[in-house]
Structure 1
Amino acid sequence: MQYLLEIGLEDMPAHVVTPSLRQLADKTAAFLKDQQLDFDDIKKYATPRRLALLIDGLAAKQADRAEDLRGPAKKIAQDADGNWSKAAIGFTRGQGMSVDDIEFKEVKGTEYVFLHKEVAGKGAAEILPGLVDVIKSLTFPTRMKWAQYDFEFIRPIHWIVSLLDDQVVPMQILDVQAGRETQGHRFLGHAVELQTANDYVKALRGQQVLVDPAERKAIITDQINAIASQNNWQVDLDKDLLEEVNNLVEFPTAFAGSFDAKYLDIPEIVLITSMKDNQRYFYARDQNGRMVNAFIGVRNGNGEHMDNVIAGNEKVLTARLEDAAFFYNEDQQHSITDYVARLSNVSFHDKLGSLADKMARVQTIASVLAKHFALDTQGTEDLQRAAGIYKFDLVTGMVGEFAELQGTMAAHYAQLAGENEAVVAALGEQYMPISAEGALPASEVGTLLAMADKLDTLMSFFSVDMIPSGSNDPYALRRQAYGIVRMLATHKQTLPLRQLQGELIKQLEEAGQTNGRDYRHNVDALDEFFQDRIKQLMQSNHVSHDVVDAVTATADPDVSAEISAAEVLTRAAKADEFKEHLEALTRVVRITSKNPATGDVDPQLFENDSEQQLHSAVEQLADFDGRTTAANFERLTALTPIINAYFDETMIMADDERVRDNRLRELNRLAQWITLFGDLTRVRK
């Protein structure tokens, strides 16, 4: 059997279409699996106005199944005379059976009432209306209500098609009842009734709607390549732009337009932004790689009246380029110093001062990071220069008009002003990464500038109790913390974040840059916030949950150290002897966690050779800091036989208080080295 489900909507945002279709398919597959209704394949179709699934090879019904249902114990089901109790009668009645159907079976020495029940599978037509709950469960980045209803969805629902072969499967959402009528192209088609589910793709093709996203994308690609070939152009088929354009059209027709060559004097990035980000056009280059005054767009329709379409698109783009040219020329009438001076009057946040205040703090933070990263003299000077000007482009006309060019224009204008390459590169990298898995800064100065900027943002917002909760994160603090974590992980830089916070707060206070805010009272919260991001990074790299929990159970988050520990534990866990090592080390940790003790160990109080052997071994661990994480863990695991012998021959909680305390001090010294790897008690054996 075939089943078609189509949800007809007002036009969805392009970026929502693909993930929503994937979500609908995944949840539908889970629903069918849960309902034990077999199927062969789910074909996914979508346009801006519809999400649709065509399920092939759908079973006509669930498989029949037999169940053995256990009821009350025999002693409860019958009295001493063998009469059936209310419990037994109620149990059988609830299953649509009688006490005559009861049989007894023994389970772990006790007899219970059992019913053997043959359950006929439900038909597909009876199960599929439940998909209405799947539709209602879909989640979206933004939702809306309409009319008088409280129901929320990405866009108002206008029609639903629900066909099992040639029969309508009833379902209803609000006032929309499912049927067999779908809608063709908004301007080139009309409503059409589907006779069977299998008619879907062909019927809509006749109404100028190509419902298969892969087919549309292939057509767009072929059309653009044909235009490029005809004009001897090179066109970058950016995959994200292609995906977006594909989800903006139902019947694509590509076309080429042009603009005045004088606009080629504008920086390429501005041209590309105007075409790609603002108008969803593909830009073109000649065979030598030079940008040409042309673009390729994709129309949601056929090739009729294309001259008017091209003229309209050219007019819109020309207006954007004219604005860009004006702001570009106007911006160059002022120096970087002029723009920096204006930042004193621009608010970073009403609780956190101006952008000039932020840059001053970032300079202080950057100087601390430069020392931690052992930046040379020239690098430190470049970092300070970049940190002292890096937000200047926010008050330029170009960024005011094209906000997506922030950072990019800072780098471009800095280059025009004669700043050196390191400063220019850092200004262009200041916002990186701009998404959770986005590209990281390539330069060292750029990395430290981006890190300093993000550290200031996090510490400042936490200082005024603006901490993300639940899904609420309006200032993208999670992304910024994750960016810092990724940068530290990439550079393998050991940097205890609690220690760093303390140092940064001290420097900010000494510089008088806290403006009365208490940067200390949420230090613990920010540490935990960072630790959650470290966990996120490890989990994205498929580190097991128990290892993640173990290595992140530290008071002072250190990205590089924790990742190294996780890698070492993950490798070690594959060895046959890992369980024995883990048991020995965690035995030490468990005892000392309940019996902390500090101070020197007195060998004069030893009562057996195993104490001296353990003491000598612990003494040799003092150079831990000079070795790799792997080498240190190997040294710890090498102590397993010594630790086991110690516990076999030594009563830790001796009656003599002096002896007992001496032994606990020894074990606590060892535990300090073990806990450098986190809480090993959380690792599964």
Structure 2
Amino acid sequence: MARDFLLEIGVEELPARFLDPALEQLWKNTEQAMLESRLAYGEIITCGTPRRITVFVRGMAEKQEPLVQEVKGPAVKVAFNAAGEPTRAALGFARSNKVKVEDLVRKSVGPVEYVFAVKREEGRPAVEVLAEIAPGLVTGLHFPKPMRWGDLEMRFARPIRWLVCLYGKQVVPFTMAGLQADRYTYGHRFLSGGRQEIAGAGAYFDVMREVYVIVDVNERKEIIRRQLAEAAAREGGRVEIDAGLLDEVTNIVEYPAALCGSFDDSFLQMPEEVLITPMREHQRYFPVRGEDGRLLPRFVAVSNNGPDAESLAIIRAGNEKVLRARLSDAAFFWQEDLKTPLADRVEGLKKVVFQERLGTVYDKVERVTALADFLAGQLGANVEEQGDITRAAYLAKADLLTNMVYEFPELQGIMGREYALRSGEPQQVAQAVYEHYLPRFAGDELPQTLPGKILSIADKIDTLVGCFTVGIQPTGSQDPYALRRQALGVCHIIIDGGLVLSLQEMINRAYSGYAGWVAAQLSSAEVIAELEEFFRQRLRGLFMERGLPYDTVDAVLTAGFDDVSGTWLRGRALEQFRADPAFDALLTAFTRAYNLSKKAESERVDPALFASAAEEELYRSYREVSAFAGAAIEAREYGTALAGIARLQKPVDRFFNEVMVMVEDERVRDNRLALLKKVADLGGGVADLTKIVTHNK
């Protein structure tokens, strides 16, 4: 009869970011353990709170499934003599596998018949197997920063304080970290009555609810989401829910209760971000907006102490007091910062080190300004835009010296925009100062203005080139300067903005900005080569993330990716064309031409050497299609170019039907190979079709 299995690891409070990855690991490890142990089950459920990591397996079999193994032995003709009597080989094989020689079975493997020993191992009781599995489920969890405690050698995210391990009503015995697994758990730290007994695994969720623990992460999250909305609605507003903050709050409470607090209206005179940042980043509060979208002097916090009104009133007062102090500090910083125009702070950047081998932040400002001016010219910025770009580049890092950014680093760029506006700078300049930091993380907004796009690219390329020049490159999981994120940011901006820029030229220009005063470990050519490979890896992942299959991605990247936005357009065009029946024609023509053209030693075609109408037709068609496809590629109409190239199928088919390529006359043979090479190379402006694995849809 199937029973439920429960393993609860009770710990001191886990960091919020540790819980979700731990539960994912535990689910995968449990699934693998059940498979390897031959224990049938119905469903695996993982759940947890800051004080517990739990796996619950519903409907686990009472014993393992039997193990039947067939061990291959010697060939029958070796195992038995002509009289059918077992030889020493058969006797030895049977003995080594602990079976009787008469129980050996015969099976053919291809043309040869062999003997096999069939070994059957009965399944062991589940509780015995689980006692062996459970310790591995605990030690199999890995955390970013494991710790030791007491005099124990074991490492875990936080000290383990209790272990519950049950198969049905039976305790699964094992010892770990000085603890003996039992049936006793602990409920909410403040609301429950201490140690609680779990009579059987199936009662776990009911027991947890009775001791004020909502152990299911998704249920807890939905409770919080609903409470946030209700609390804000009672104040006539709507809560602004940040998904990351909601996940964090869900993982730091066991029994949530939302409460709405307030702050003085006078603080609303500051920019919204100045209010939201301390609320969200430092206090884990959710801002509240009115029906008109404006920020209200309200916030919603989530308590871990349940809905008791008296307790919530005390907690509300404490939260309001803490936020009042933070906002008072912010108001002071705001007023002090406004006394100094943003431009007057730039000189101070000469005393701020960007990176010890790459100079000061002021040095970076000068390099970024020069690179941004170059990019502005490449993208055809008008005189007004060029002026805005130069001014924004000069001011971009000045807010690093403000009191507000010193206290709240998350506000860099945001405060630069605010202080620029209040210093009398044009809106376009202030916006570019803000946008040059974008995107700050995966899924973040991208710059929308041309000055913002150019300044963001210039800033990121300068950092990438500088770090690679002095030998600072990401290794494994180590990327202290977030170079992968910055390279991805450049790719996103160029692709989504449809910007036509040369990656190699940008890198080379940025490298020249370091020339003469940086102790370079790599030459310009080496930096270009390494960064191109670095960008290739980013683009491959990005294109696949956006829905392109790996062979389409490889095909367009192999054809070149110096024009990043063009490469993306080529990838989309190729993938769309692969769904068109004409793609068969394109691939057929290319494949037939490519296979023979590999032997070509020259690309020069002499029409005087043509000996048949088929050669003449293919050459004429090639020239027409080449001109057509070249114009389409120049116009970045890659789908049109591919459709044009596909028209070569019939001339190619006729050529192969009527022309013998590998003739004895060397000049004629080479001329025909050269023609095929030109046909094969025609698609190279779009993609390397040799990388296409399949075109069947």
TM-score normalised over the length of structure 2: 0.90
Cα offset, 1:272, TM superposition: 0.9
Matches within 5 A, 1:106-255: 106-128=108-130, 129-148=132-151, 151-189=154-192, 190-255=194-259
- Whether 1:415 aligns to 2:424 is no
Q: What is the identity, as a one-letter code, of the residue corresponding to 1:250?
A: E
- Whether 1:532 aligns to 2:534 is no
Cα offset, 1:452, TM superposition: 1.6
Q: What is the identity, as a one-letter code, of the residue corresponding to 2:181?
A: A
Q: Which residue of 1 aligns with 2:576?
A: 571
On the 8 A contact 1:459/1:519 being kept in 2, the answer is no
Q: Which shows bigger deviation, 674-683 or 321-330?
A: 674-683
Matches within 5 A, 1:513-524: 515=518, 517=520, 518-524=523-529
Q: Which residue of 2 aligns with 1:100?
A: 102
Matches within 5 A, 1:26-45: 26-45=28-47
On the 8 A contact 1:68/1:115 being kept in 2, the answer is yes
Q: What is the identity, as a one-letter code, of the residue corresponding to 1:469?
A: T
RMSD in angstroms over aligned alpha carbons?
Answer: 2.8
CA distance in 2 between counterparts of 1:681 and 1:658 reads: 28
Q: 1:552 to 1:34 in 2, by over 3 A?
A: farther
Matches within 5 A, 1:70-85: 70-78=72-80, 84=86
- Whether 1:666 aligns to 2:675 is yes
CA distance in 1 between counterparts of 2:241 and 2:42 reads: 34
On the 8 A contact 1:596/1:668 being kept in 2, the answer is no
Look up the SS of the partner of 1:424 in the other structure: helix
For residue 367 of structure 1, the aligned residue among 341, 348, 373 is: 373
CA distance in 1 between counterparts of 2:489 and 2:462 reads: 13
Q: What is the identity, as a one-letter code, of the residue corresponding to 2:415?
A: M
Q: 1:617 to 1:148 in 2, by over 3 A?
A: farther
Q: 1:409 to 1:351 in 2, by over 3 A?
A: same
Q: Which residue of 2 aligns with 1:684?
A: 693
On the 8 A contact 1:368/1:504 being kept in 2, the answer is no
Look up the SS of the partner of 1:522 in the other structure: helix
Q: Which residue of 2 aligns with 1:279?
A: 283
CA distance in 2 between counterparts of 1:443 and 1:481 reads: 19
Q: Which residue of 2 aligns with 1:607?
A: 611
Q: 1:591 to 1:366 in 2, by over 3 A?
A: farther
On the 8 A contact 1:46/1:211 being kept in 2, the answer is yes
Q: Which residue of 2 aligns with 1:639?
A: 648
CA distance in 2 between counterparts of 1:141 and 1:676 reads: 45
Q: Which deviations, in whole Å up to 9, do the C-alpha atoms of 1:608-647 show, x marking residues without a partner?
A: 3332222222222134343111111112222123223334
CA distance in 2 between counterparts of 1:93 and 1:360 reads: 82
Q: What is the identity, as a one-letter code, of the residue corresponding to 1:270?
A: V
Q: Which deviations, in whole Å up to 9, do the C-alpha atoms of 1:543-589 show, x marking residues without a partner?
A: 22222222222454443333333333333444567456424313434
Q: For structure 2, which runs of at least 5 residues remain unmatched after alignment? A: none
CA distance in 1 between counterparts of 2:595 and 2:180 reads: 63
Cα offset, 1:357, TM superposition: 1.6
Q: Which deviations, in whole Å up to 9, do the C-alpha atoms of 1:206-257 show, x marking residues without a partner?
A: 3332212333334434443443344334332333322221211112233333
Cα offset, 1:115, TM superposition: 3.5
Look up the SS of the partner of 1:57 in the other structure: strand
Q: 1:94 to 1:391 in 2, by over 3 A?
A: farther
CA distance in 1 between counterparts of 2:610 and 2:509 reads: 42
- Whether 1:263 aligns to 2:272 is no
TM-score normalised over the length of structure 1: 0.91
Q: For structure 1, which runs of at least 5 residues remain unmatched after alignment? A: none
Look up the SS of the partner of 1:431 in the other structure: coil
Identity score, percent: 37
Q: What is the identity, as a one-letter code, of the residue corresponding to 1:586?
A: T
Cα offset, 1:413, TM superposition: 0.9
Q: 1:139 to 1:434 in 2, by over 3 A?
A: farther
Cα offset, 1:670, TM superposition: 3.0
Q: 1:594 to 1:552 in 2, by over 3 A?
A: farther
Q: Which deviations, in whole Å up to 9, do the C-alpha atoms of 1:71-123 show, x marking residues without a partner?
A: 33224434567554565445434543222111222222111112345554444
On the 8 A contact 1:366/1:449 being kept in 2, the answer is yes
Q: What is the identity, as a one-letter code, of the residue corresponding to 2:431?
A: A
On the 8 A contact 2:108/2:114 being kept in 1, the answer is yes
Q: What is the identity, as a one-letter code, of the residue corresponding to 2:693?
A: R
CA distance in 1 between counterparts of 2:22 and 2:447 reads: 32
Q: What is the identity, as a one-letter code, of the residue corresponding to 1:32?
A: M
CA distance in 1 between counterparts of 2:631 and 2:226 reads: 59
Q: Which shows bigger deviation, 195-204 or 674-683?
A: 674-683
Q: What is the identity, as a one-letter code, of the residue corresponding to 2:107?
A: K
Q: What is the identity, as a one-letter code, of the residue corresponding to 2:108?
A: E
For residue 458 of structure 1, the aligned residue among 461, 464, 487 is: 464
Q: What is the identity, as a one-letter code, of the residue corresponding to 1:98?
A: K
CA distance in 1 between counterparts of 2:470 and 2:104 reads: 68
In the comparison of the two structures, how many residue pairs are matched? 681
Q: 1:322 to 1:503 in 2, by over 3 A?
A: closer
Q: What is the identity, as a one-letter code, of the residue corresponding to 2:43?
A: D
Look up the SS of the partner of 2:62 in the other structure: coil
Cα offset, 1:300, TM superposition: 1.7
Q: Which residue of 1 aligns with 2:334?
A: 328
For residue 551 of structure 2, the aligned residue among 540, 546, 552 is: 546
